[in-house]
Structure formats: C-alpha cells, structure tokens
A and B are shown apart, each in its own frame.
Chain A
Amino acid sequence: MTLPENGGDRGPLIEAHLGLARAIARRFSNRGEPYDDLVQVASVALIRAANSFDDSRDVAFSTYATSMMIGELKHHFRDRGWQIKTPRRLQELYLELTGLVSDLTQQLGRAPTVHELAAAAQCRDEEVIAALEAGRGYRADSLDSSSMDSARFDRFTAVSGTGESFEDRAELSSHLAALPERERFILQRRFFDDQSQEEIARELGISQMQVSRLLRHGIEALRALYDVD
C-alpha cells in the first residue's frame, strides 16, 4: 500500500491495518483482559505508528506498526493488576521487580538482565523468571479505584473544554476513553487534580521521569486521535 506524504490523510492506512490490530490483540486475549479493550489499545498504537512512521526507512509499515502494537499491549499488561490467583510471595516480588526494572534501566541505560534483577532483589534467577511469568495476571486495584467515575470525568472534560462546544467536550471524552488506563489516570491527576509530576510519581510508586514520559505519550496519543478525526 502506498503511504501518503507526511501530513497527508493516513486514515485509509490505519483502516487498512485495523484487522492486524484485532489479530494482535487476540494474541493477548488469553490473559484475562476483555478482547475489546485490547483492540482499543492496539488501535491507538496503530494510530501512533501511522503518525510517527518514517517511510524513508527500509521497513514496511506493517512491520513497524506490529512492533508498536505489541509494545503497547505489553505496557498495558504491565500497568494492570492481579487477575488470577498468584502466590503472595510472587506478587510482592513482581511488584518489587517492576520498580527495579525502571531504576536499573535508568541506571544502566538498557534493560536489565534477569541476573541483574535477581542480584538487586536479592533472590535467585529462577524466582525472577517465575515472578515475571506470574506478572501476566496482574491488575492494579489502586489504579482501578482511582479511575475516573462518570461525574469526575464530566467535570474533567468540562474544565478542559472551557469555552468550547458540547461536541468538543464529547470528543475529548471519547478520545480520553481510548487512552490506556495509566495514561488517562495521569492526565486526570495532572490536569484535573492539579498534582505535580512528582506527586503523581509518589502516588503510583514510579519515577517522575516515567510520569513525564507517560504524560507525553498521553498527550501525543490525544493529538493523534484528533488528527485522525
């Protein structure tokens, strides 16, 4: 398929690959998350891919988009909480590892190995592997309970859309709902609850840099969704 020039209408390109997004989402659907939610995550990644794709590089769009969608789905599952029964020791180790991966990635400038994680967590390599596998069934209740209820969501979109039409606010609500849960949560905290990045980082137990990155992603995703419209 011919890629439109930069700035051109990438809608047809996105539409042509929605089947790919559904197929990739299906690959993750045995992990307890609703299939439709996964399709949504993959679709947003597809839109991002269409907007950031550099067609001067020697790589097919479908290959590039597949990488983006898989990456986004992996992050989506990392951002969830426990959904299946997992030994408490592994749950705790998984949560510890989540923080350590972030810290060590910043410290080393690359993803840490299993051995490096085990050394940092003072456990055996096989315990790290088992905890990472157990992490496939993770759901963050703290994030769920902090998610926007409809009233807060309406207030958020009303404030954000001040001076704009009901349709504009409805459009913002719709686009926000398409974002991954953690990005939506962080946008809410930053722009509705007026919390600083550092405060959000403390609440979520992640670094300020991660909050900054997720905010940036969330804003870019919103922009991409508007561009597609």
Chain B
Amino acid sequence: MQHLQLDVAAEPSQLSLPRLLIGGVAALVELGVDLVEDLQLALDELCVSVMADDSSARQRLNIVVQWDASAIRVEVTSHGELAAPLTDGAQLTAYSQQILDALVDDHGTEERDGLRVRWMRLQKRTDPGAL
C-alpha cells in the first residue's frame, strides 16, 4: 500500500487540509465524486472524534492515509493529552458511530504505543452502476 502522512493543528479551520489530501488520494483511486464527498465527511467525523478525546490546548492531529487500487484506509491520532484514560471512552459517541457506519465500509479504534488511533476504511465499489 502507498501512504501519505499529514500533521495539522487540531482546529476545525484546519480540516480543509486533510480533506484536500483525501480528495487527492480518492482521485488517484478513481472513486466517484459522491464517494469522495462521503470520504471527506467521514474524515471530518473521525478528526472531530479524536479532538474530543484530547484535552490538550496544544493538540495536533496526525493523519495517515494508506491506499491501493481497491481501498483507502485513514488513521487519525492526536499528539496531545487524552481527556480520558485509554481504557475509557474508546467507543465513539452514538452519533459519530452512526455517521461513520453510513459513510465507510469499516471503522474502529486501536491502541498503539500508548496512543488511541481511530481509523476508517473505504472499499472501492466494483459495481459499475454504483454511484
């Protein structure tokens, strides 16, 4: 899989940068524009969830996008301090869960090197009629 990494301030005004990045990758994978928009909305949701995890005023988001010809996977991690211990609050809010369920094929939360990593995966549709 190929990958790109982006590090941005965890502020809503900065989220256009990861959206542009994911849009570029989605173009390489040749997703339809509707799926590009779904992916960007899901990325917003993932980033907002990670921001909610983190209580640090200096937090930054690390976004890793991995892709091949058939799928895109995105991981979002915060550099800041977690608002709750890793063992708590790993579940997304019910609303975030609903939104990600609707927009991507799979998503979840992992703990890695003491950090909480939220991820999502979108599979390219093979049905030529799919919008």
Q: How many whole Å from A83's CB to the nearest CB in chain B?
A: 15
A-chain residues with CB within 8 Å of residue B26 when the two chains form the complex: 114
Q: Which residue of A lies closest to B35 (CB)?
A: A111
In the complex, the answer to whether B23 meets A113 with C-beta atoms within 8 Å is no
Interface residues of B in 14-42 (CB under 8 A from A): 16, 19-20, 23-24, 26-27, 30-38, 40-41
B-chain residues with CB within 8 Å of residue A101 when the two chains form the complex: 33
Query: Known: A101-B33, A110-B131. Contact between A128 and B27, CB under 8 A?
Result: yes
Query: Known: A27-B45, A130-B20. Contact between A111 and B131, CB under 8 A?
Result: yes
**B98 interface residue, CB < 8 Å from A?**
yes
Q: Which residue of A lies closest to B41 (CB)?
A: A70
B-chain residues with CB within 8 Å of residue A20 when the two chains form the complex: 95, 98
In the complex, the answer to whether A133 meets B20 with C-beta atoms within 8 Å is yes
B-chain residues with CB within 8 Å of residue A66 when the two chains form the complex: 98-99, 101-102
Query: Known: A70-B103, A129-B20, A129-B24. Contact between A111 and B98, CB under 8 A?
Result: no
From DSSP, what is the main secondary structure of chain B's interface residues? Answer: helix
Q: Which residue of B lies closest to A77 (CB)?
A: B37
A132 to B31, CA, bound (A): 14
Choose from A24, A117, A133 the contact partner of B16 (Cβ within 8 Å).
Answer: A133
A-chain residues with CB within 8 Å of residue B23 when the two chains form the complex: 114, 129, 132-133
Interface residues of A in 55-111 (CB under 8 A from B): 62-63, 66-67, 70, 74, 101, 105, 109-111
From DSSP, what is the main secondary structure of chain A's interface residues? Answer: helix
In the complex, the answer to whether A110 meets B98 with C-beta atoms within 8 Å is no
Q: Which residue of B lies closest to A62 (CB)?
A: B98
A97 to B64, CA, bound (A): 29
In the complex, the answer to whether A24 meets B95 with C-beta atoms within 8 Å is yes
B-chain residues with CB within 8 Å of residue A62 when the two chains form the complex: 98
B-chain residues with CB within 8 Å of residue A145 when the two chains form the complex: none
Interface residues of A in 24-79 (CB under 8 A from B): 24, 27, 30, 62-63, 66-67, 70, 74
Task: List chain A positions with a Cβ less than 8 A from chain B.
Answer: 20, 23-24, 27, 30, 62-63, 66-67, 70, 74, 101, 105, 109-115, 117, 125-126, 128-130, 132-133
Task: List chain B positions with a Cβ less than 8 A from chain A.
Answer: 12, 16, 19-20, 23-24, 26-27, 30-38, 40-41, 44-45, 48, 95, 98-99, 101-103, 128-131
